[in-house]
Homo-oligomer: A and B are copies of this chain.
Amino acid sequence: MEAKTDDRVHFSDRLAAAIRRRRNPVLVGLDPRAEQLPAGLAPSGRASRAEWAAAYARFCTLIVDVVAPLVPAVKPQAACFEQLGAPGMQALAEVIAHARLRGLLVVVDGKRNDIGSTATAYADGFLGSESAWGADALTVSPYLGDDSLRPFVDVAQARGCGLFILVKTSNPGGGQFQDLIADGLPLYRHVGRHVERLAFETAGVVGYGAVGAVVGATFPEQLAELRGEMPHAWLLVPGFGSQGGTARNVAGAFDTAGLGAVINNSRGIIFAHARPEFAERFGAARWQEAVEAATREMIQQLHAETTAGKL
Protein backbone atom coordinates (compact mmCIF):
# COMPACT_ATOMS: atom_id res chain seq x y z
CA MET A 1 0.00 0.00 0.00
CA GLU A 2 1.51 3.32 -1.02
CA ALA A 3 1.36 6.61 0.84
CA LYS A 4 -1.68 8.79 0.36
CA THR A 5 -1.00 11.59 -2.13
CA ASP A 6 0.20 14.71 -0.39
CA ASP A 7 -1.70 17.81 -1.42
CA ARG A 8 0.62 20.18 0.41
CA VAL A 9 2.83 19.90 -2.67
CA HIS A 10 1.79 21.86 -5.77
CA PHE A 11 -0.62 19.89 -7.96
CA SER A 12 1.42 20.36 -11.10
CA ASP A 13 4.56 19.07 -9.43
CA ARG A 14 2.69 16.14 -7.93
CA LEU A 15 1.30 15.28 -11.38
CA ALA A 16 4.72 15.54 -13.02
CA ALA A 17 6.26 13.35 -10.29
CA ALA A 18 3.51 10.74 -10.67
CA ILE A 19 3.95 10.65 -14.45
CA ARG A 20 7.73 10.29 -14.11
CA ARG A 21 7.36 7.59 -11.45
CA ARG A 22 5.12 5.48 -13.70
CA ARG A 23 6.90 6.60 -16.90
CA ASN A 24 3.63 7.28 -18.69
CA PRO A 25 0.79 9.86 -18.84
CA VAL A 26 -2.20 7.54 -18.91
CA LEU A 27 -5.34 8.75 -17.12
CA VAL A 28 -7.73 5.84 -16.67
CA GLY A 29 -11.36 6.93 -16.84
CA LEU A 30 -13.68 5.28 -14.32
CA ASP A 31 -17.04 5.40 -16.09
CA PRO A 32 -19.04 2.45 -14.78
CA ARG A 33 -22.12 1.50 -16.82
CA ALA A 34 -24.69 -1.03 -15.65
CA GLU A 35 -25.04 -2.72 -19.03
CA GLN A 36 -21.29 -3.16 -19.50
CA LEU A 37 -20.12 -4.53 -16.14
CA PRO A 38 -18.23 -7.84 -16.40
CA ALA A 39 -20.36 -10.91 -15.76
CA GLY A 40 -20.44 -11.69 -12.05
CA LEU A 41 -20.16 -8.06 -10.95
CA ALA A 42 -23.68 -6.97 -11.88
CA PRO A 43 -26.28 -7.59 -9.17
CA SER A 44 -28.73 -10.30 -10.09
CA GLY A 45 -32.44 -9.83 -10.76
CA ARG A 46 -34.17 -6.48 -10.34
CA ALA A 47 -31.53 -4.71 -8.29
CA SER A 48 -31.99 -1.47 -6.34
CA ARG A 49 -29.93 1.63 -7.01
CA ALA A 50 -28.00 0.91 -3.81
CA GLU A 51 -27.09 -2.55 -5.13
CA TRP A 52 -25.93 -1.09 -8.44
CA ALA A 53 -23.93 1.54 -6.56
CA ALA A 54 -22.20 -1.19 -4.55
CA ALA A 55 -21.43 -3.00 -7.81
CA TYR A 56 -19.97 0.20 -9.32
CA ALA A 57 -17.80 0.72 -6.25
CA ARG A 58 -16.53 -2.85 -6.42
CA PHE A 59 -15.86 -2.68 -10.17
CA CYS A 60 -13.94 0.61 -9.91
CA THR A 61 -12.04 -0.52 -6.83
CA LEU A 62 -10.89 -3.67 -8.62
CA ILE A 63 -9.78 -1.59 -11.61
CA VAL A 64 -7.87 0.75 -9.31
CA ASP A 65 -6.07 -2.28 -7.88
CA VAL A 66 -4.99 -3.30 -11.39
CA VAL A 67 -3.92 0.11 -12.66
CA ALA A 68 -2.41 1.67 -9.50
CA PRO A 69 1.05 0.14 -10.12
CA LEU A 70 0.90 1.13 -13.81
CA VAL A 71 -0.45 4.67 -14.28
CA PRO A 72 -0.26 8.04 -12.49
CA ALA A 73 -3.93 8.95 -12.24
CA VAL A 74 -7.60 8.03 -12.62
CA LYS A 75 -10.63 10.08 -13.63
CA PRO A 76 -13.97 9.02 -12.14
CA GLN A 77 -16.93 10.29 -14.17
CA ALA A 78 -19.34 11.97 -11.73
CA ALA A 79 -22.36 11.46 -14.00
CA CYS A 80 -22.18 7.66 -13.85
CA PHE A 81 -22.40 7.76 -10.07
CA GLU A 82 -24.94 10.59 -9.87
CA GLN A 83 -27.23 8.60 -12.13
CA LEU A 84 -27.77 6.29 -9.12
CA GLY A 85 -28.64 9.09 -6.71
CA ALA A 86 -27.22 9.39 -3.20
CA PRO A 87 -26.02 5.73 -3.00
CA GLY A 88 -24.09 6.33 -6.22
CA MET A 89 -22.44 9.39 -4.73
CA GLN A 90 -21.46 7.31 -1.70
CA ALA A 91 -19.85 4.84 -4.12
CA LEU A 92 -17.98 7.71 -5.80
CA ALA A 93 -16.60 8.78 -2.42
CA GLU A 94 -15.39 5.24 -1.76
CA VAL A 95 -13.73 4.96 -5.17
CA ILE A 96 -11.91 8.27 -4.74
CA ALA A 97 -10.68 7.32 -1.27
CA HIS A 98 -9.47 3.93 -2.45
CA ALA A 99 -7.63 5.37 -5.45
CA ARG A 100 -5.82 7.92 -3.32
CA LEU A 101 -4.91 5.28 -0.79
CA ARG A 102 -3.32 3.34 -3.63
CA GLY A 103 -1.21 6.40 -4.54
CA LEU A 104 -3.17 7.51 -7.59
CA LEU A 105 -4.01 11.12 -8.32
CA VAL A 106 -7.76 11.55 -8.75
CA VAL A 107 -9.32 13.94 -11.25
CA VAL A 108 -13.09 14.07 -10.80
CA ASP A 109 -14.77 14.64 -14.14
CA GLY A 110 -17.70 16.76 -13.08
CA LYS A 111 -17.56 19.69 -15.55
CA ARG A 112 -18.89 21.83 -12.72
CA ASN A 113 -19.43 25.57 -12.99
CA ASP A 114 -21.28 28.32 -11.19
CA ILE A 115 -20.71 31.81 -9.85
CA GLY A 116 -19.28 33.34 -6.70
CA SER A 117 -19.90 31.50 -3.47
CA THR A 118 -21.58 28.64 -5.35
CA ALA A 119 -18.41 28.03 -7.35
CA THR A 120 -16.53 28.11 -4.05
CA ALA A 121 -18.92 25.47 -2.67
CA TYR A 122 -18.11 23.08 -5.54
CA ALA A 123 -14.37 23.70 -5.22
CA ASP A 124 -14.43 23.37 -1.44
CA GLY A 125 -16.39 20.14 -1.69
CA PHE A 126 -14.22 18.41 -4.28
CA LEU A 127 -10.65 19.60 -3.86
CA GLY A 128 -8.12 18.39 -1.32
CA SER A 129 -7.71 15.54 1.11
CA GLU A 130 -9.69 17.38 3.82
CA SER A 131 -12.62 18.05 1.50
CA ALA A 132 -15.83 16.04 1.36
CA TRP A 133 -14.86 14.23 -1.86
CA GLY A 134 -11.10 14.41 -1.43
CA ALA A 135 -10.10 14.68 -5.10
CA ASP A 136 -6.85 16.11 -6.45
CA ALA A 137 -8.43 17.91 -9.38
CA LEU A 138 -11.78 18.69 -11.00
CA THR A 139 -12.92 19.45 -14.55
CA VAL A 140 -14.70 22.80 -14.93
CA SER A 141 -16.77 24.43 -17.67
CA PRO A 142 -15.86 28.03 -18.67
CA TYR A 143 -19.11 29.50 -20.05
CA LEU A 144 -19.71 31.74 -17.01
CA GLY A 145 -16.39 33.57 -17.39
CA ASP A 146 -13.51 34.53 -15.13
CA ASP A 147 -15.44 35.46 -12.00
CA SER A 148 -16.85 31.91 -12.02
CA LEU A 149 -13.42 30.34 -12.54
CA ARG A 150 -11.60 32.44 -9.96
CA PRO A 151 -13.17 30.80 -6.87
CA PHE A 152 -12.16 27.38 -8.23
CA VAL A 153 -8.60 28.63 -8.82
CA ASP A 154 -8.35 30.14 -5.35
CA VAL A 155 -9.40 26.94 -3.61
CA ALA A 156 -7.23 24.77 -5.87
CA GLN A 157 -4.20 26.97 -5.19
CA ALA A 158 -4.72 26.97 -1.44
CA ARG A 159 -4.96 23.17 -1.35
CA GLY A 160 -2.29 22.06 -3.80
CA CYS A 161 -5.00 20.88 -6.17
CA GLY A 162 -5.70 21.27 -9.85
CA LEU A 163 -8.38 22.21 -12.38
CA PHE A 164 -8.92 21.28 -15.99
CA ILE A 165 -11.07 23.80 -17.84
CA LEU A 166 -12.96 22.75 -20.98
CA VAL A 167 -11.34 24.40 -23.99
CA LYS A 168 -11.84 22.23 -27.11
CA THR A 169 -13.91 19.14 -26.48
CA SER A 170 -13.69 15.80 -28.30
CA ASN A 171 -17.33 15.48 -29.44
CA PRO A 172 -18.25 16.06 -33.12
CA GLY A 173 -20.62 18.92 -32.21
CA GLY A 174 -18.18 20.63 -29.85
CA GLY A 175 -17.43 23.19 -32.54
CA GLN A 176 -20.95 24.57 -32.67
CA PHE A 177 -20.06 27.28 -30.18
CA GLN A 178 -16.35 26.58 -29.54
CA ASP A 179 -15.40 27.26 -33.17
CA LEU A 180 -17.37 30.51 -33.57
CA ILE A 181 -14.90 33.20 -34.69
CA ALA A 182 -14.71 36.38 -32.59
CA ASP A 183 -12.02 39.01 -33.18
CA GLY A 184 -10.36 36.66 -35.66
CA LEU A 185 -10.06 33.74 -33.25
CA PRO A 186 -12.37 30.83 -32.49
CA LEU A 187 -14.03 30.90 -29.07
CA TYR A 188 -11.92 27.96 -27.87
CA ARG A 189 -8.76 30.01 -28.51
CA HIS A 190 -10.18 32.86 -26.39
CA VAL A 191 -10.91 30.38 -23.61
CA GLY A 192 -7.47 28.82 -24.15
CA ARG A 193 -5.76 32.19 -23.73
CA HIS A 194 -7.57 32.73 -20.49
CA VAL A 195 -6.62 29.28 -19.24
CA GLU A 196 -2.99 29.93 -20.19
CA ARG A 197 -3.06 33.11 -18.08
CA LEU A 198 -4.41 31.15 -15.13
CA ALA A 199 -1.83 28.40 -15.73
CA PHE A 200 1.00 30.94 -15.84
CA GLU A 201 -0.23 32.58 -12.60
CA THR A 202 -0.36 29.23 -10.82
CA ALA A 203 2.81 27.62 -12.20
CA GLY A 204 4.75 25.24 -9.98
CA VAL A 205 8.43 24.27 -9.98
CA VAL A 206 8.04 22.13 -13.08
CA GLY A 207 6.74 25.08 -15.11
CA TYR A 208 3.13 23.99 -15.54
CA GLY A 209 0.22 25.54 -13.68
CA ALA A 210 -2.40 24.20 -11.32
CA VAL A 211 -4.91 25.12 -14.03
CA GLY A 212 -4.95 23.05 -17.22
CA ALA A 213 -7.18 22.55 -20.23
CA VAL A 214 -9.38 19.79 -21.62
CA VAL A 215 -8.58 19.39 -25.31
CA GLY A 216 -9.93 16.43 -27.28
CA ALA A 217 -7.72 13.84 -29.03
CA THR A 218 -10.10 13.95 -31.97
CA PHE A 219 -8.71 17.30 -33.18
CA PRO A 220 -4.93 16.65 -33.56
CA GLU A 221 -4.17 19.94 -35.30
CA GLN A 222 -5.90 22.04 -32.68
CA LEU A 223 -4.21 19.98 -30.01
CA ALA A 224 -0.74 20.85 -31.34
CA GLU A 225 -1.81 24.46 -31.85
CA LEU A 226 -3.05 24.74 -28.26
CA ARG A 227 0.12 23.06 -26.91
CA GLY A 228 2.03 25.95 -28.51
CA GLU A 229 -0.42 28.61 -27.32
CA MET A 230 -0.62 27.32 -23.76
CA PRO A 231 2.95 26.58 -22.68
CA HIS A 232 2.06 26.53 -18.97
CA ALA A 233 -1.11 24.44 -19.14
CA TRP A 234 -1.39 20.72 -18.63
CA LEU A 235 -3.66 19.28 -21.31
CA LEU A 236 -6.17 16.63 -20.28
CA VAL A 237 -6.85 14.81 -23.54
CA PRO A 238 -10.02 12.71 -23.81
CA GLY A 239 -11.10 10.86 -26.94
CA PHE A 240 -8.31 8.25 -27.12
CA GLY A 241 -9.46 4.76 -28.10
CA SER A 242 -13.21 4.39 -28.31
CA GLN A 243 -13.72 7.91 -29.66
CA GLY A 244 -11.11 7.32 -32.39
CA GLY A 245 -8.04 9.17 -31.08
CA THR A 246 -4.69 7.35 -31.56
CA ALA A 247 -1.25 7.75 -30.00
CA ARG A 248 -0.16 9.58 -33.14
CA ASN A 249 -3.16 11.94 -32.82
CA VAL A 250 -2.12 13.01 -29.33
CA ALA A 251 1.62 13.36 -30.02
CA GLY A 252 1.23 17.14 -30.33
CA ALA A 253 -0.06 17.41 -26.76
CA PHE A 254 3.36 16.73 -25.17
CA ASP A 255 6.42 18.87 -24.63
CA THR A 256 9.87 17.62 -25.68
CA ALA A 257 10.40 15.91 -22.31
CA GLY A 258 7.16 13.93 -22.59
CA LEU A 259 5.35 16.06 -20.02
CA GLY A 260 2.49 18.54 -20.41
CA ALA A 261 -0.37 16.13 -21.08
CA VAL A 262 -2.38 13.31 -19.60
CA ILE A 263 -4.18 11.05 -22.03
CA ASN A 264 -7.52 9.67 -20.93
CA ASN A 265 -8.93 6.34 -21.92
CA SER A 266 -12.11 5.11 -20.27
CA ARG A 267 -14.08 2.43 -22.12
CA GLY A 268 -11.04 1.09 -24.00
CA ILE A 269 -9.45 0.12 -20.68
CA ILE A 270 -12.21 -0.52 -18.16
CA PHE A 271 -14.36 -2.48 -20.61
CA ALA A 272 -11.37 -4.07 -22.37
CA HIS A 273 -12.91 -7.49 -21.76
CA ALA A 274 -15.49 -6.62 -24.41
CA ARG A 275 -12.93 -5.65 -27.08
CA PRO A 276 -12.69 -8.55 -29.55
CA GLU A 277 -8.90 -8.97 -29.23
CA PHE A 278 -9.04 -9.20 -25.42
CA ALA A 279 -12.35 -11.11 -25.20
CA GLU A 280 -10.76 -13.94 -27.10
CA ARG A 281 -7.52 -13.87 -25.16
CA PHE A 282 -8.91 -13.66 -21.61
CA GLY A 283 -12.58 -14.55 -21.67
CA ALA A 284 -15.07 -12.69 -19.49
CA ALA A 285 -13.92 -14.13 -16.17
CA ARG A 286 -10.37 -12.78 -16.51
CA TRP A 287 -11.59 -9.21 -17.18
CA GLN A 288 -9.01 -7.68 -14.83
CA GLU A 289 -6.25 -9.17 -16.96
CA ALA A 290 -7.88 -7.54 -19.98
CA VAL A 291 -7.77 -4.19 -18.11
CA GLU A 292 -4.07 -4.68 -17.42
CA ALA A 293 -3.30 -5.71 -21.00
CA ALA A 294 -5.20 -2.73 -22.44
CA THR A 295 -3.41 -0.35 -20.08
CA ARG A 296 -0.01 -1.76 -21.02
CA GLU A 297 -0.92 -1.61 -24.71
CA MET A 298 -1.85 2.07 -24.44
CA ILE A 299 1.36 2.87 -22.57
CA GLN A 300 3.37 1.09 -25.26
CA GLN A 301 1.59 2.98 -28.04
CA LEU A 302 2.27 6.32 -26.35
CA HIS A 303 5.92 5.35 -25.82
CA ALA A 304 6.29 4.44 -29.48
CA GLU A 305 4.52 7.43 -31.01
CA THR A 306 5.07 10.38 -28.65
CA THR A 307 7.74 12.05 -26.53
CA ALA A 308 6.24 10.17 -23.55
CA GLY A 309 8.78 7.54 -24.65
CA LYS A 310 11.48 9.76 -23.08
CA LEU A 311 9.93 9.64 -19.63
Binding site for B on A (CB under 8 A): 31, 33, 49, 77, 79-80, 82-86, 88-90, 92-93, 109, 111-119, 121-122, 124-126, 132-133, 141-148, 166, 169-178, 180-183, 187, 190-191, 194
Contacts and interface: CB of A to CB of B under 8 A. Distances in A.
Nearest to A146: B173
A141 to B, nearest CB: 5
Contact of A132 (B83, B170, B176, B191): B83
Given A113-B111, A117-B33, A170-B115, A122 B176 contact: no
Nearest to A185: B180
A182 to B, nearest CB: 4
B111 A114 contact: yes
A308 to B, nearest CB: 25
17 contacts: A77-B118, A79-B121, A80-B118, A80-B121, A86-B90, A89-B89, A111-B141, A113-B141, A115-B174, A141-B141, A143-B143, A145-B174, A146-B173, A147-B172, A148-B174, A177-B187, A180-B180
Given A85-B133, A89-B89, A147-B171, 20 more contacts: A77-B121, A79-B118, A79-B121, A79-B122, A79-B125, A80-B121, A82-B125, A86-B89, A88-B125, A88-B132, A115-B169, A142-B143, A143-B143, A145-B171, A145-B178, A146-B173, A148-B174, A180-B187, A182-B187, A187-B187
Contacts of A88: 125, 132
Q: Which 8 A-B pairs have the closest CB atoms?
A: A85-B132, A147-B173, A145-B176, A180-B182, A83-B125, A145-B173, A79-B121, A115-B171
B49 A132 contact: yes
A144 B171 contact: yes
A133 B93 CA distance: 18
